[in-house]
Amino acid sequence: MKAVILAAGRGKRLKCSRPKPLTLLLSRTLIDRVIDNLKKAGIDEIIVVYSDDRVKAELEGKAELVFNDDIGKGGGYSLLKGASAVGDEDFLLLMSDHIFDSESLVKLLSSKPNITTLCIDRNLKGHDSEDATRVLIDREGNVTSIGKELKEYNAIDTGIFYCTPDVTNITRDFAGKFSVTDVMGKLALKKKLKTFDITGDFWCDVDTREKLKEAEDILLNSLIKPTDGIISKHINRKISIKISKFLVNTHLTPNMISFISFLFGLFSAALFAMGQSIIAGIVAQISSILDGCDGEIARLKGLVSPSGAIFDAILDRYADMLIILGIIASNPQSLWLVGGLAMLGSYSISYTSSKAELRGITFTRLYEVLMNRDTRLFLIFLGGITGFLYAILVILALFTNLVAFLRIFYFSKRYE
Amino acid sequence: MKAVILAAGRGKRLKCSRPKPLTLLLSRTLIDRVIDNLKKAGIDEIIVVYSDDRVKAELEGKAELVFNDDIGKGGGYSLLKGASAVGDEDFLLLMSDHIFDSESLVKLLSSKPNITTLCIDRNLKGHDSEDATRVLIDREGNVTSIGKELKEYNAIDTGIFYCTPDVTNITRDFAGKFSVTDVMGKLALKKKLKTFDITGDFWCDVDTREKLKEAEDILLNSLIKPTDGIISKHINRKISIKISKFLVNTHLTPNMISFISFLFGLFSAALFAMGQSIIAGIVAQISSILDGCDGEIARLKGLVSPSGAIFDAILDRYADMLIILGIIASNPQSLWLVGGLAMLGSYSISYTSSKAELRGITFTRLYEVLMNRDTRLFLIFLGGITGFLYAILVILALFTNLVAFLRIFYFSKRYE
C-alpha cells in the first residue's frame, strides 16, 4: 500500500528558519518521524509532496518526491499532486506536521476500511484549539460536516486518512485555492466519508512552539517502560529522561552511552575496593541512571537494535559483578561469602529473565521484578553512603536468590 | 493429511512375547516412535490397522483404530482396510516396524508427489538383507520392478509410501493372500509408482534382534549434539549415553535427572569447601556427565520441553557458581579474587549464549565454545585431583572472560 505525506506547508507559526516538515522534535525531523511510523506499520511506498528544496534534499532516496509547483493553491492542490502519483488505488494520507503513534495506523489498516476514512479523536478538551479541524459525526460514524469554524461538533480531525480513489476523483473537480478539508467536506456531503476512532492514542498537530513542546514531553514520558522496576520508575527515569533530552542532540550512539555507563560502574567498583564507599555508592547510582539513557536515546533516535540491547545487557552484568567484587575487595575476609552469593543471585536474576524471554515470558509482577538491576544498584548506593556494606550484601544475597528460586520453581512446573 | 500405519504383523523373528508394533526400542514402542514422527511432520490424522488387542489397548485415543479381521490374508489386506478408512484422498503409508527420521517425511511431503511414491535407499550394502524388499528403478526414478527375490535391483524399499487413491483402487482388485509389495508391483507395471530418494537418512526395518540392537545404537549415537564441546563430545557423552541407556528404563523424568546432577554439584562444592579437593573434583566431573543425561532422556522419551531445558540451565548455573564458591571457601584469603572473576566469566559464557539464542545465533566455532560448561567442569576436575586450584581458577578467570569479551565485541559490531 502507498502513503502520501503532504509536506508543502510553510509553518510560519513555528517561527523557525527551517521548512515546517524539517522542524526538529527531539533531534529528528517531524517528517522523518512520520515516515518511520509508516515503515513500522508496514508501509514502504511513500510519496512526499514538497515545495521547499531543502525537504527534497533531506528525503532524497527515502521517498518518492512530488513537487508542488504552486503552493498558493493550498493543501488540496498538494493532495491532488500526491493522489495523482498514487494512481487508481487506495492510499494513506498523512500530514508532515502531525505526529502520531504507529499503532494507530496498524489499527486503522486492520479495520479494512471500504470507503474513505478519517481518524478522529473524541477528546475535545485535549485537542481543540483555534487551529484544530472540527468534525461532526452521526451515530453510524459517518462525517456530517467538517471544518475549522464548526460550531456544533463532536470530534477532532487527527490528520490521518485512509483514502479510496474517490478522493483522487473529487480532488480533480476543484479549481483555485482549496484545502484538504474542502475535499473531505465534499466527500462528507456525498456520504462517502466515515471515521475511525483513535481517542486515547498519542497524536499531535505540531503547528506552534507550544505544541512542539507538548509533543516533546509526551515522547519523553513514553520512554518510561511498563517493565520498569520501582526505583527505575520513580527515581532513575525521571533523571535519565532529562539527561537523554540533552544527549539526543549529541552524536553519542546508544552503544557509546552503554559503554559510558559501564565505565561509571567500573569506577564505582574501583572506589569500593579503595574503601571510598560513599563516593562509590553515588557513582554506582549514577551508572544505574545512565544505564537508562542508552535505550532512551535508541528509541528517540529510531536506532533501537536487538544487538545493541544485548551489548548493553552484557556490559551491565559485568558492571554489576565488578561492583560487588569491589565491595568484597574492601574486606575480603568477611565479605567473600555473602558477596559471592550476591553475585550469584544478581546474575541469576538477569539470566532467568533472559531465559524467560526466550519463551516469550516477561516477568512483571512485583516480587518478580523486586530485585531487578535498578533496585540492586540502589541498595548498593544505600550501602555505600551508609557504610552498611555487609548488611546490604546479605540483603542482596538473600532476595536475589529467593527471586531466582521462585523463577526456577516456575520453570520446573511448566510443561510445553 | 492422513496416514495409515500397518500394525497387524506378528513379528515372530523378534522372539518377543509382545506384538511386534509394541516392541520396545529404548523404552518406547516402535509404533509410538512412528506416530511421534508423523506428528513431528505435521500429520495428526493417524489410522492404525491392528490385529492384536494389546495394540488396540495401547493406542486407544492416540489414533483411529481399524481391525484386521483376517491376518491370514497378508499385509495387502491390512492396506485395503486402512486405505478404505482414508477415503478418496492421498495418504501416507507406513510400517509399524520401520523406524525412521521425521525429516525424511518432511522432505517427501514438500516434494509434493503427484503419483504414488516410494521412499527408497540407494545404499544397498547398508540395508540389504534376506528380508529387504528390493527395487529396480529406471533413470526417471520410476519403479520398474519390486520384490524380495529380485536379482537385478538398484535400491531398497524403506517402507515409507506416499499413496494416491490409485493404491486404494488397485488394492480392491486383489483376492486371497497378498502383500503390500504385490500391490506396489502392480502399480509399477502400470507405470504409476515413482520413487523419492532418502539415501543417507536414518531408517531401519526392525525385524530381528540384531536390527533392534542396530536401531538402538543409531538412536543413542544421535544424542551427540553438533553443539557439544570437546570434552562433552569425547568424554562426557560416551559415558552419559551409557547411563541414559540404563536410565531410560526407569521412571526418572528429565527434570529429576537435572536435579540429581545439581545435587552432585552441591556435593562437590561442599567437598571443596571442606578441603576434600580430590573427591570434590571427581564429583564435579560426575555432575558434568550426568548433566548430559537429562536432555538425552528427554529426547529418547520424546519429552523434550523448552521449560525443562531452562530449568536445567538455571540449576547448572547454580551448581557452577557454588562449586567455584566452594573452592574459594577452601582458602578465601588467596582465592576470592580469581574465584570471583572465574564466577563472573563462567556465568557470562552462559548469559551471552542465552542472549545470542534470543537472536537465533548459536556459537559453534572452537574459540566460542572453548569455555563451555563441559570444559569448565573438566578443568575444575583436573584442579581438584592435582591440587592446583589457584592455577585452575586463574585459567578459568582468564579464558572465560576472554571468550565473553569476544562475544560482547561481536554484539557491539552487529547492527540490525
ipTM attached to this prediction? 0.82
B208 vs chain A: nearest CA distance in angstroms? Answer: 36
| Percentage of residues of chain A with pLDDT beyond 90 | 74
User: Between chains, do B314 and A408 touch, taking CB under 8 Å as contact?
Assistant: yes
Q: Is the pLDDT of residue A12 over 70?
A: no
**Looking at residue B15, what is its pLDDT?**
65
What residue spans define the domains of chain B?
2-207, 223-412
User: Which of B311, B350, B411 is the closest to A408 by Cβ?
Assistant: B311
Amino acid at B65: L
Spatial distance between the Cα atoms of A196 and A107, rounded to a whole number of angstroms: 9
**Looking at residue B223, what is its pLDDT?**
87
**Looking at residue B11, what is its pLDDT?**
64
User: Between chains, do A306 and B359 touch, taking CB under 8 Å as contact?
Assistant: yes
* Domain at A2-208, CATH class: alpha beta
User: Between chains, do A318 and B348 touch, taking CB under 8 Å as contact?
Assistant: yes
Does residue A319 sit in helix, strand or coil? helix
Q: Is the pLDDT of residue A13 over 70?
A: no
Spatial distance between the Cα atoms of A347 and B345, rounded to a whole number of angstroms: 11
**Looking at residue B155, what is its pLDDT?**
94
**Looking at residue B63, what is its pLDDT?**
93
Over range B109-137, report the average pLDDT: 90
Confidence band, pLDDT 50/70/90 cuts, at residue A100: very high
**Pairing verdict, β B45-50 and B193-197:** unpaired
Instruction: Suggest the residue from A336, A338, A393 to mutate for an interface test with chain B (most B CBs closer than 10 A).
Output: A336
Chain B residue set in contact with A, beta carbons under 8 Å: 255, 305-308, 310-311, 313-315, 317-318, 321-322, 325, 328-329, 332-333, 336-337, 339-341, 343-344, 347-348, 350-352, 354-359, 404, 407-408, 411-412, 414-416
**Looking at residue B341, what is its pLDDT?**
98
Amino acid at A1: M
Spatial distance between the Cα atoms of A50 and A64, rounded to a whole number of angstroms: 10
User: Between chains, do B337 and A329 touch, taking CB under 8 Å as contact?
Assistant: yes
Confidence band, pLDDT 50/70/90 cuts, at residue B55: very high
**Looking at residue A416, what is its pLDDT?**
60
User: Between chains, do A357 and B359 touch, taking CB under 8 Å as contact?
Assistant: no
* DSSP 8-state symbol, B250: S
**Looking at residue A415, what is its pLDDT?**
66
User: Residue B321: closest CA among chain A residues belongs to which residue?
Assistant: A344
Is residue B324 within 8 Å of residue B393, measured between CB atoms? Answer: yes
Q: Which of A170-179, A225-234, A325-334 has the highest mean pLDDT?
A: A325-334
**Looking at residue A367, what is its pLDDT?**
74
Confidence band, pLDDT 50/70/90 cuts, at residue A14: low
User: Residue A360: closest CA among chain B residues belongs to which residue?
Assistant: B358
Q: Which three cell numbers stand for residue A91?
A: 492510499
Spatial distance between the Cα atoms of B334 and B42, rounded to a whole number of angstroms: 58
Domain covering B2-207, topology: Spore Coat Polysaccharide Biosynthesis Protein SpsA; Chain A (3.90.550)
| A18-32, A63-77, A119-133, A265-279: the lowest-pLDDT one | A119-133
User: Between chains, do B344 and A321 touch, taking CB under 8 Å as contact?
Assistant: yes
Is residue B8 within 8 Å of residue B78, measured between CB atoms? Answer: yes
**Looking at residue A301, what is its pLDDT?**
87
Cell numbers 529380485: residue:
B150
| B8-22, B39-53, B114-128, B201-215: the lowest-pLDDT one | B8-22
Spatial distance between the Cα atoms of A46 and B154, rounded to a whole number of angstroms: 59
Q: Is the pLDDT of residue B320 over 90?
A: yes
Instruction: Suggest the residue from B411, B413, B415, B416 to mutate for an interface test with chain A (most A CBs closer than 10 A).
Output: B411
Q: Is the pLDDT of residue A127 over 80?
A: no
Nearest to A170, CA basis, from A188, A157, A149: A188
For B353, half-sphere exposure in the C-beta direction (CA atoms, 13 angstrom radius) is: 23
Nearest to B400, CA basis, from B317, B334, B328: B317
Confidence band, pLDDT 50/70/90 cuts, at residue B334: very high
Q: Is the pLDDT of residue A369 over 90?
A: no
Neighbours of B217 (CB within 10 A): 12
Spatial distance between the Cα atoms of B121 and B129, rounded to a whole number of angstroms: 13
**Looking at residue B208, what is its pLDDT?**
85
Which residues of chain A neighbour B339 with C-beta distances below 8 Å? 340
**Looking at residue A15, what is its pLDDT?**
65
Please give the mean pLDDT across all residues of chain A.
92
Domain covering B223-412, topology: Four Helix Bundle (Hemerythrin (Met), subunit A) (1.20.120)
User: Residue B349: closest CA among chain A residues belongs to which residue?
Assistant: A314
Q: Which three cell numbers stand for residue A35?
A: 515516515
Q: Which three cell numbers stand for residue B383?
A: 584442579
* Tens digit of each residue's pLDDT (9 = 90 or more) over B130-188: 788 999 999 999 999 999 999 999 999 999 999 999 999 999 999 889 999 999 999 99
Please give the mean pLDDT across all residues of chain B.
92
Q: Write the CA distances from A251 to A44, A131, A257, A298, integer angstroms.
A: 27, 35, 11, 12
Is residue A25 within 8 Å of residue A15, measured between CB atoms? Answer: no
Q: Is the pLDDT of residue B312 over 70?
A: yes
**Looking at residue B222, what is its pLDDT?**
85
| A260-264, A344-348, B6-10, B277-281: the lowest-pLDDT one | B6-10
Nearest to B325, CA basis, from A330, A324, A332, A340: A340
* Domain at A223-413, CATH class: mainly alpha
Q: Is the pLDDT of residue A185 over 70?
A: yes
Ordered DSSP codes for B177-196: S--HHHHHHHHHHTT-EEEE
A378 vs chain B: nearest CA distance in angstroms? Answer: 21
Amino acid at A244: S
**Looking at residue B322, what is its pLDDT?**
98
Spatial distance between the Cα atoms of B136 and A181, rounded to a whole number of angstroms: 77
Q: Buried b vs exposed e over B375-388: b needs ≥16 C-beta within 10 Å?
A: bbbbbbbebbeeee
**Looking at residue A2, what is its pLDDT?**
95
User: Which of A310, A344, A355 is the closest to B313 by Cβ?
Assistant: A355
Beta bridge partners of A147: A134
Cell numbers 588467596: residue:
B334
Instruction: Suggest the residue from A294, A344, A409 to mutate for an interface test with chain B (most B CBs closer than 10 A).
Output: A344
